């Protein structure tokens, strides 16, 4: 015959109220697969050609043993027949097993004794028939059920329970549908158009075309595109916090620096071990910078060689080719230095300023679970008249409080460019321990004086890595899972937005 779709529509075409009572029977009579009929019916329902009503039909199916009983009789009748045939002496159990088989004899014997069709002879132990024949109820019940297509109503409840107990039948529930005409029924399906085409517009056929309705429930196509890396999410949050604190972002968008800005301007002696190729990546091509501000260069050179502003300097021969060597910046403090130089020499003279940056730096490190050759530094500085160590501690406390670290400790440290210098330790509430989270200090006069900053201008500054708070925030324990070529892209795609609410948390606790 035809396909299920036209068969269904044809079946409903006879008159207004025609229905297909049960898709299951319909499929069977048309030789269709029922699942296919259901699929087509649902698709027709989607276009309102038909309305469906779910049917749930329960019926019994015969188990394997029941089929055997239907053809050969119940076990008890077969045992009885064997016993009747054996006559008055009856049969021993092995002989009975021989006759009807082990399984049949076991079940049949039990039922014969229970039905009082047979008895056990005490003297011989043989089974002897008491009746000469019996009606095979079980076989008849199964036959009746089969004739009624498993309809549970074909048998009384007691019989059903007995057959179920013997595991001869089991109940099956089948889902099917009653199909009737829907509001938009037509005897032939017209596929709705999904798109308006140029041809439709040209010919005007769009006026009579039926279009698919919009499906506002459907999920949109997933949008590909970029995702912010966790480091960038934390950077966005830090940037917001620092801007709220009145800090202005420094232009750090270059990775190659001269040794002059990276080290010399920071009063880091040219013999300092950090200036060794073991610690710093020097650039081969171009190996040297083109120029530095010459008058400032001279003042820096003098400060290194013989001091000034109360310092005796380092007392060595300051080398120009050492200062001009290009490198991958080892810290963003190279930019802080340039910004302070600009601040001292800008038109109108020095003005107080707050600067920050969050950008990449490079160090020739042995790589392990927490170290890579490149990382990102968060750096902040405040330049103003008569600042004190108290201002530095206060600024640092405000910043860290905003990123959720409320308990801080400071440990005296050494940096060539700061005095005093303090390492910053934070108590991590998750890890329940104190960890080093940053470095800080007040820039030395040997650094500030050659720039030309007024004498009582102090600069407080601090720096930390972006990686450490990011790893803590995103519970990443190996830096190689955060940054580099082995990073799982799905991690980037799925990383949640970063929010730091530590400060508010503490305020709540205090209330
Ligand atoms: N430049 C320092 C570092 O790389 C951080 C720092 C910045 C320290 C400013 C003191 C002042 O660790």
Q: Is 14 helix (H, G, I), strand (E, B) or coil?
A: coil
Q: Nearest residue CA, atom 10 of ligand 1?
A: 440
Q: Which residue's CA lies nearest to atom 4 of ligand 1?
A: 331
Which one, of 428, 434, 377, lies nearest residue 409 by Cα?
434
CA of 462 to the centre of ligand 1 (A): 6
CA distance 181 to 443: 87
Q: Atom of ligand 1 at shortest distance to CA of 439? A: 8
CA of 380 to the centre of ligand 1 (A): 9
Atom of ligand 1 nearest to the CA of 379: 7
271-323 residue pLDDT tens: 998 898 889 999 999 999 999 999 999 999 999 999 998 999 999 999 999 99
Nearest CA to ligand 1 atom 8: 440
Distance (angstroms) between ligand 1 centre and the Cα of 30 equals 84
Ligand 1 centroid distance, CA of 303 (Å): 21
- Closest Cα to residue 242, out of 359, 340, 417? 359
CA of 264 to the centre of ligand 1 (A): 15
Give the pLDDT score at 501.
62
Q: Which of 505, 468, 394 is nearest to 230 (CA)?
A: 468
Return the ligand 1 atom nearest residue 331 CA: 4
The residues, ordered by sequence, that sit 6+ positions from 266 with a Cβ below 8 Å of its Cβ are 333, 334, 337, 416, 417, 447
Which numbered atom of ligand 1 lies nearest the CA of 332?
Answer: 1
Strand arrangement of the beta sheet that strand 353-362 belongs to: 248-249, 353-362, 374-385, 457-465, 433-443, 418-428, 408-415
Scored b (16 or more CB within 10 A) or e, 6-31 reads ebbbeebeeeeeeebebbbebbeeee
Across all residues in the chain, what is the average pLDDT?
91
DSSP sequence for 178-236: EEEE-TT--SS--PPBSS--HHHHHHTGGGTPPBPPP-TTSPPPPP------HHHHHHH
**Please, is 374 exposed, middle or buried when counting C-beta atoms within 10 Å of its C-beta (0-12, 13-18, 19+)?**
middle
CB 303 within 8 A of CB 238: no
Nearest CA to ligand 1 atom 5: 463
Q: How far is ligand 1, taken at its centre, from the CA of residue 440, in Å?
A: 6
**Non-local CB neighbours of 296 within 8 Å, separated by 6+ positions:** 265, 341, 450, 451, 452
pLDDT in tens, 340-370: 999 999 999 999 999 999 999 999 988 887 7
Over residues 372-419, the pLDDT tens digits come to 899 999 999 999 999 999 999 999 999 988 988 788 999 999 999 999
Planar angle of CA 326, 382, 346, nearest 5 degrees: 65
**Candidate of 327, 333, 380, 383 to mutate for ligand 1, largest count of ligand atoms within 8 Å of Cβ:** 333
Residue with tokens 């749930």, as numbered in its chain: 56
For a ligand 1 pocket test, name from 415, 420, 462 the mutation site with the most ligand atoms within 8 angstroms of its C-beta: 415
Cα 137 to its chain centre, rounded Å, is 62
Task: Report DSSP letters for 77-111, one per residue.
Answer: HHHHHHHHHH-TT-B-HHHHHHHH-HHHHHHHHHH
Ligand 1 proximal residues by C-beta, below 6 Å: 331, 333, 379, 415, 418, 439-441, 461-463
In this prediction, what percent of the chain has a pLDDT beyond 70? 97
- Site to substitute for ligand 1 among 463, 465, 467, 468, most atoms within 8 A of C-beta: 463
Edge-to-edge strand ranges of the sheet holding 169-181: 19-20, 169-181, 50-62
Cα(421) to centroid of ligand 1, in Å?
A: 9
> Measured between alpha carbons, how far is 60 from 150 in angstroms, rounded to an integer?
4
0.75 exceeded by pTM = no
Mean pLDDT (whole number) for 132-146: 91
Q: Structure tokens of 505?
A: 């948390």
Could you tell me the distance, in angstroms and rounded to a whole number, from the CA of residue 439 to the centre of ligand 1? Answer: 5
Q: What percent of the chain has pLDDT over 90?
A: 69
Q: What is the pLDDT of residues 161-191, one digit of tens each?
A: 999 999 999 999 999 999 999 998 999 988 8
Among candidate residues 488, 487, 477, the one with its CA nearest the CA of residue 370: 477
What is the atom index within ligand 1 of the atom nearest the CA of 421? 10
Q: Read off the pLDDT of residues 23-36 as tens digits, 9 standing for 90 and up.
A: 999 999 999 999 99
Centre of ligand 1 from the C-alpha of residue 419, in Å: 12
Tokens of 463: 């720096």
Give the pLDDT of residue 399.
Answer: 92
Q: What is the pLDDT of residue 405?
A: 79
Mean pLDDT of the 132-138 span: 91
C-alpha of residue 443 to centroid of ligand 1, in Å: 10
Distance CA 181, CA 179 (A): 7
Q: Which two tokens stand for residue 198?
A: 């140029």
Task: Judge residue 469's burial from the number of C-beta atoms within 10 Å of its C-beta, 0-12 exposed, 13-18 middle, 19 or more buried.
Answer: buried
Task: For residue 443, give the ligand 1 atom closest to its CA.
Answer: 11
């Amino acid at each position: 015959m035809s396909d299920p779709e036209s068969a269904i529509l044809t079946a409903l075409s006879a008159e207004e109220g025609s229905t297909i009572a049960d898709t299951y029977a319909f499929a069977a009579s048309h030789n269709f697969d029922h699942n296919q009929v259901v699929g087509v019916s649902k698709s027709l329902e989607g276009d309102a050609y038909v309305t469906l009503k779910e049917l749930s039909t329960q019926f019994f199916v015969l188990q394997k043993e029941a089929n055997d009983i239907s053809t050969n009789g119940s076990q008890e009748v077969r045992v009885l027949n064997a016993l009747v045939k054996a006559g008055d002496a009856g049969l021993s159990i092995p002989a009975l097993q021989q006759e009807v088989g082990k399984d049949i004899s076991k079940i049949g014997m039990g039922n014969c004794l229970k039905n009082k069709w047979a008895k056990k002879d005490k003297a011989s132990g043989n089974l002897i028939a008491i009746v000469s024949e019996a009606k095979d109820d079980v076989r008849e019940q199964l036959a009746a059920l089969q004739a009624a297509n498993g309809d549970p109503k074909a048998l009384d409840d007691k019989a059903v329970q007995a057959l179920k107990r013997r595991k001869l039948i089991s109940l099956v529930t089948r889902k099917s549908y009653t199909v009737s005409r829907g509001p938009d029924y037509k005897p032939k399906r017209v596929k709705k158009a999904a798109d308006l085409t140029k041809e439709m517009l040209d010919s005007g056929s769009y006026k009579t075309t039926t279009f698919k309705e919009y499906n506002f429930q459907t999920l949109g196509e997933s949008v590909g595109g970029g995702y912010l890396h966790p480091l960038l999410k934390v950077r966005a949050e830090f940037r917001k916090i620092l801007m709220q604190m009145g800090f202005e972002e420094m232009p750090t968008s270059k990775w190659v620096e001269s040794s002059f800005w990276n080290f010399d301007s920071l009063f880091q002696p040219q013999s300092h071990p950090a200036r060794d190729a073991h610690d710093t990546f020097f650039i081969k091509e171009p190996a040297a910078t083109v120029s530095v501000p010459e008058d400032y260069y001279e003042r820096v050179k003098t400060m290194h060689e013989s001091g000034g502003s109360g310092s005796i300097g380092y007392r060595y021969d300051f080398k120009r080719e050492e200062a001009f060597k290009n490198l991958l910046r080892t810290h963003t403090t190279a930019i802080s230095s340039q910004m302070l130089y600009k601040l001292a020499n800008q038109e109108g003279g020095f003005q107080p300023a707050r600067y920050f940056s969050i950008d990449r730096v490079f160090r020739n490190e042995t790589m392990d679970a927490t170290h890579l050759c490149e990382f990102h530094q968060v750096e902040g500085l405040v330049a103003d008249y008569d600042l004190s160590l108290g201002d530095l501690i206060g600024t640092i406390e405000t910043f860290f409080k905003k990123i959720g670290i409320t308990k801080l400790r400071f440990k005296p440290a050494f940096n060539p460019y700061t005095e005093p210098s303090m390492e910053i330790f934070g108590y991590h509430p998750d890890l329940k321990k104190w960890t080093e989270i940053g470095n800080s200090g007040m820039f030395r006069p040997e650094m500030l004086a050659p720039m030309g900053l007024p004498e009582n201008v102090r600069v407080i500054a601090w720096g930390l890595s972006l990686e450490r708070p990011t790893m803590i925030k995103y519970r990443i324990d190996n830096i190689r899972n955060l940054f580099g070529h082995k990073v799982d892209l799905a991690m980037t795609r799925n990383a949640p937005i970063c929010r730091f609410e530590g400060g508010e948390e503490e305020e709540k606790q205090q209330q």
